[in-house]
Amino acid sequence: MALKLYGGAISPFTMRVVIQIRAKGLDIPMTDPPGGLHSETYRTLNPVDKIPALDVDGTVIPESAVIADFLEQRFPEPALTLSDDVMQARVGLIARLSDLYVMNAMLPLFGQLDPSTRDAAIVENTIGAVTKGLGFLESYVAPKAYATADRFTLADCAAAPILFYADRFLPLFGATDPFAPYPNVSAYWAQVGETSAVAQSLEEMRQALDALSG
């Protein structure tokens, strides 16, 4: 069985899968989308035309959450899920809150990076939405190295790269310490990088963003 991941280190959704791959000790290489993102070649393979996507012997699976579930089923050990059904629901909830209410809420900011063309209303509304999302996470994230339990789970794979983006970009819009109002999130963020799979992946994200910004 041949597997490869189409994606890039600049994408927090790609890195969610990369962290999972590393935490499980899998050998799944990451490569650029064939023909480049948004190319006809890539759209033929992946009509969703986004990254990441997992190529499994020629069958391409898009969407990071779906890929994560596939990898857990195909490679169940070491498990990044929890046997307790209520706690496993929290794993999924943290991942979803991170995706929908933090990262997706943050997206309008990337069109406002240039101060000379910045729309103050868009920035204010976006910061408000992200703040709300971080408040949601505050209610569920444990203030320690693992988001939900005494071991690493898919919640950490999802939350860590998205909090990295919040920590990097929110200060550009005046939020100098974006996690300060959220002690659980702040404590979690300070410790999640102790896991080697997270530390390596976040460093690659830093390097990718630094290269992009010149």
Over residues 62-106, the pLDDT tens digits come to 999 999 999 999 999 999 999 999 999 999 999 999 999 999 999
Q: Is the pLDDT of residue 61 over 90?
A: yes
The pTM (predicted TM-score) of the whole model is: 0.96
| Topology of the domain comprising 85-213 | Glutathione S-transferase Yfyf (Class Pi); Chain A, domain 2 (1.20.1050)
> Where, residue-wise, is CATH 1.20.1050.10 in the chain?
85-213
3-74 belongs to which CATH class?
A: alpha beta
Whole-Å CA distances, 166 to 24, 43, 65, 89, 163: 26, 30, 20, 24, 5
Q: What is the pLDDT of residues 104-162, one digit of tens each?
A: 999 999 999 999 999 999 999 999 999 999 999 999 999 999 999 789 999 999 999 99
